[in-house]
Amino acid sequence: EVQLVETGGSLVHPGGSLRLSCAASGFAVRGSYMTWVRQAPGKGLEWVSTIDSSDVTYYAGSVRGRFTISRDNSKGTVSLQMNSLRDEDTAMYYCVRDDYGSGSDWGQGTLVTVSS
């Protein structure tokens, strides 16, 4: 059974940094497309970043240059390093496994709150 568990969300001040981690089980992170999607309170879904099967990374314009996605194949984890955080980065962050061009499996989410 595929399982994704996100950790690392917390309250952080504007300009601060945070690292989210996603522990995957039930499949090999190596060679998988893995994505982070976020959802601001009361709002819709927003794609944030994807790392593809060749470790090429992609970012939404709103986070490019501030966020970095990476994976550790030996640990079966995917991470999202978030720097220079802004109020508008406040959201639930979901780790997603992509298959057949879609988010086939989602974690339960980890909440990031950016506030002074």
Partner 1 sequence: DIQMTQSPSSVSASVGDTVTITCRPSQGISNWLAWYQQKPGKAPKLLIYATSNLHSGVPSRFSGSGSGTYFSLTISGLQPEDSATYYCQQTNSFPWTFGQGTKVEI
Q: Does residue 40 touch partner 1 according to CB under 8 A?
A: no
Which range, of 8-16, 24-32, 57-65, 78-86, touches partner 1 by CB under 8 A? 57-65
Q: Is 53 in the site for partner 1 (CB under 8 A)?
A: no
According to the binding rule CB under 8 A, does residue 36 interact with partner 1?
Answer: no
**The binder of partner 1 chosen from 68, 81, 103, 111 (CB under 8 A):** 103
Q: DSSP secondary structure string, 60-107? A: -TTTTTTEEEEEETTTTEEEEEE-S--GGG-EEEEEEEEETTEEEEE-
27 lines the binding site for partner 1 (CB under 8 A): no
- Rounded to the nearest whole angstrom, what is the least distance from the CB of residue 71 to partner 1 in the complex? 17
With b for 16 or more beta-carbon neighbours within 10 A and e for fewer, the 6-45 pattern comes to bebbeebeeeeebebbbbbeebebeebbbbbbbeeeeeee
Q: Does 5 bind partner 1 (CB under 8 A)?
A: no
Residues at the site binding partner 1, with contacts judged by CB under 8 A: 35, 37, 44-47, 50, 58-61, 94, 98-109
